[in-house]
């Protein structure tokens, strides 16, 4: 499934080149006071008024609408001075209190993040090592220069766990929705556990977490990642 992208590029934006193309950033508005039927338009209007201080390339909301308000591949002001020069695109998700609307918004959010990563020729994987799709929280924890930790808390409030969000980014939402998805934990040596998900009877764990638990060094070559995740 594809979604139309409405282009409403804001005027008067800075035109600075990126230092490198490494990331696509996943945000959410962080605005619990703006969750009504006009939340998307309110956020876009606010960003337009304050674009000298903060702006991103895309907004998602309003029941699966996607609006592009700034060019991709150019500097955007969304995730701090360390992450901005490395980010091909930055995507904001407007909030809603309507869980049925959220499902539609989330589906288009996942689709857009994946498509932008493919366009940028970076791995379609969330918060992994190296290049890829990064949450604002990942930028805060790894690059600094910002303190925001979105979008995980808002997604969790709407029933989307961190594990599911990562899996949806990796596989695409349609594949995950069609499968039977169950959150689980894997116990090792009757003592330590790591998060897992069970999809159609198969248990999946994060390789990084398993390696850390076993005290093993995880080595992923750039060449292999590109073969797996680049279009």
Same domain? 56 vs 119: yes
Residues 22 and 80 both lie in one domain? yes
Per-residue confidence (pLDDT) for residue 193, from 0 to 100: 73
**Strand bridging mode 58-61 / 6-7:** unpaired
Task: Report the alpha-carbon distance of residue 195 to residue 209 in Å, rounded.
Answer: 8
Q: pTM score > 0.95 for this model?
A: no
Q: Rounded to an integer, what distance in angstroms lies between the CA atom of residue 160 and that of residue 110?
A: 12
Containing structural domain, residue 221 = 179-226
In this prediction, residue 199 carries a pLDDT of 58
Q: Is residue 231 part of a domain?
A: no
User: CB count, 10 Å around CB of 62?
Assistant: 21
- Residue 1 is assigned to a structural domain of this protein: no
pLDDT for 179 = 47
Whichever domain contains 20, its CATH number is 3.40.80.10
Q: Do 164 and 195 form a contact (C-beta atoms < 8 A)?
A: no
Q: What is the pLDDT of residues 130-185, one digit of tens each?
A: 999 999 999 999 999 999 999 999 999 999 999 999 999 999 986 444 445 566 66
Same domain for 197 and 156: no
Does the pLDDT of residue 221 top 60, yes or no? no
- Domain boundary among the residues 172, 187, 213 is at 172
Looking at the structure, tell me whether residues 154 and 136 fall in a common domain. yes
Instruction: Please indicate, yes or no, if residue 161 is contained in any of the structural domains.
Output: yes
What pLDDT is stored for residue 93 in this prediction?
A: 98
Angle (nearest 5°) at CA 22 between 51 and 151 = 60
Average pLDDT, the chain: 88
- pLDDT value at residue 1: 81
CA atoms within 13 A on the CB side of 75: 15
Token output for 119 = 């366009």
The 10s digit of each residue's pLDDT in 40-71 is 999 999 999 999 999 999 999 999 999 999 99
Which letter does DSSP use for residue 80 in this model? H
What residues contact residue 6 under an 8 Å CB cut-off, 6+ apart?
65, 66, 67, 68
Please indicate, yes or no, if residue 121 is contained in any of the structural domains: yes
Total domains in the fold of the chain: 2
């Amino acid at each position: 499934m594809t979604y139309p992208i409405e282009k409403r590029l804001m005027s008067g934006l800075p035109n600075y080149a990126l230092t490198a193309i490494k990331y696509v950033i996943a945000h959410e508005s962080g605005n619990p006071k703006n969750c009504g039927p006009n939340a998307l338009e309110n956020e876009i209007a606010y960003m337009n008024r304050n674009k000298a201080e903060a702006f991103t390339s895309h907004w998602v909301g309003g029941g699966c609408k996607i609006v592009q308000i700034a060019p991709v591949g150019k500097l955007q002001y969304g995730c701090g001075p360390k992450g901005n020069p490395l980010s091909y695109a930055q995507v904001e998700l407007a909030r809603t209190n309507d869980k049925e609307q959220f499902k539609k918004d989330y589906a288009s959010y996942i689709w857009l993040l994946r498509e932008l990563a493919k366009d940028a020729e970076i791995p379609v994987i969330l918060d992994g090592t190296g290049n890829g799709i990064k949450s604002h929280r990942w930028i805060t924890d790894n690059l600094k220069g910002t303190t925001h930790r979105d979008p995980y808390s808002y997604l969790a409030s709407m029933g989307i766990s961190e594990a599911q969000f990562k899996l949806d980014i990796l596989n695409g939402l349609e594949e995950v929705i069609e499968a039977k998805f169950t959150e689980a934990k894997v116990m090792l040596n009757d003592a330590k556990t790591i998060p897992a998900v069970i999809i159609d009877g198969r248990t999946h764990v994060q390789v990084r977490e398993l390696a850390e638990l076993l005290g093993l060094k995880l080595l992923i070559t750039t060449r292999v990642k590109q073969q797996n995740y680049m279009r």
